Amino acid sequence: MRKKILCLLSLFFIFSLLMGDEISDTQKRLEKIQKDLQEMEKKATQTSQKKKTTDVQLQTTLKEKQKVELEKKKTEEIFKLKQQELTKVSTELKSVDEQVRELKTLQNNQLNLLLRLRINSSTTKIKPKEEHCLTAMTAQTREKLNQLGDVQVVLSEEKKEVGKEVTVVKSDLYAKTNLSKKLNTTVKTLETQKKQLTKEEQKLQNQIAQLRKDAAQLEALIASLTAKSKASGEISEAYKNSFKSIAWPLRGKIIRNFGQETRSYGTSVISNGIDIAVPEWTTVVASDDGEVVFSGPYGGQGKLIIIDHKNGFFTVYSYNNELLVSRGAQVKKGQPIAKSGMTGSASEPCLHFEVRKDGKAVNPLAYLE
């Protein structure tokens, strides 16, 4: 009985001391969260302002794009009309060219006939009336050729001028088309930026909400621990005991070491343990014999288990999908206690594992077998 009472007093002694250390450690964590919260809120404000600036740029670009599209449509209509005009002039000029060719052929025939008649005048009697008529017809043909020649000149000049206008309008249309494509690309880029900023803004707001929730939970925990500490009385020295080698809670690749700093959205977090990457639902075992003093969800730690090994050491298991033991359960080394997962603030499937000595985080690798 005496030994049992001494054991209980020793455990009470350890518990009180650890509680005092836990209050100090929790207070530091609270201060860190409050600092991170301020930085996160500043980052959220900057992101929100950047989003507003991007939105203004987007609206301005959309208005410019609409204006360019209207101008482009008008230019396309002008280009179409100029092409039609060029086609019409070209067709008329082609018709006149054909008439000129036919009249020149007729003129050559008339001249050849008149020449033959005059050469053969010594043997063939040509009536003056017939010669006069043929001469008149040749003159008429020459007059028509002169008139059509003038028309050719006018149509050629008109075709040349319309062709220049078509070239100018085509160049203008090409420039407006390129500008429209460029504006379309800018709009898509700004829309993508806006979506990314909206997503980042939402993520920051979620993180801010989580930090506020964690801060509230820690404040409540500090109040609870302080009350318990006052009820149990102050302990002046820690209970020291060697911690034998402990088992790995599971095997996997260490993706985050003890004391490693991680930065995200302007916030830095120092790891109090190690993160072991494993597939979800991998079995997690107790590293040593002990009593489960906490089993349940806890803010960013996700589904959490804490085991008191009754020798000044505690082990912590976070981010689990399923908890297999309840608070108060006595567990043995190697006993399954949880199924790993990606709960809380975990960014990938893993187990966060901590070793606490007298309430302070120590490097688990110094104790793992």
Give whichever of 145-154, 182-191, 199-208, 237-246 has the largest mean pLDDT: 182-191
Domain 240-369: assigned CATH number: 2.70.70.10
Query: Residue 8: what pLDDT?
Result: 44
Q: Which sign, positive or negative, has the C-alpha torsion 77, 80, 86, 87?
A: negative
For 206-242, the DSSP string reads HHHHHHHHHHHHHHHHHHHHHHHHHHH----S-----
Q: Specify the higher pLDDT residue, 195 or 6.
A: 195
Q: What is the pLDDT of residues 84-121, one digit of tens each?
A: 888 888 888 888 888 888 878 877 887 787 777 666 66
Question: What are the domain boundaries of the chain?
Answer: 11-239, 240-369
Judged against a pLDDT cut of 60, whether residue 327 lies above it is answered with: yes
In sequence order, the β-bridge partners of residue 305 are 295, 317
Q: Specify the higher pLDDT residue, 1 or 363.
A: 363
Domain 11-239 has CATH 1.10.287.2610: yes
Q: What is the pLDDT of residues 329-345, one digit of tens each?
A: 999 999 999 999 999 88
Query: Residue 129: what pLDDT?
Result: 65
| Nearest C-alpha neighbor of 279 from the set 326, 341, 222 | 341
Confidence of residue 127 (pLDDT cuts 50, 70, 90): low
Query: Residue 211: what pLDDT?
Result: 66
Judged against a pLDDT cut of 90, whether residue 287 lies above it is answered with: yes
User: Quick check: do 11-239 and 240-369 share a fold?
Assistant: no
Give whichever of 202-206, 303-307, 356-360 has the largest mean pLDDT: 303-307
Q: Specify the higher pLDDT residue, 235 or 56.
A: 56
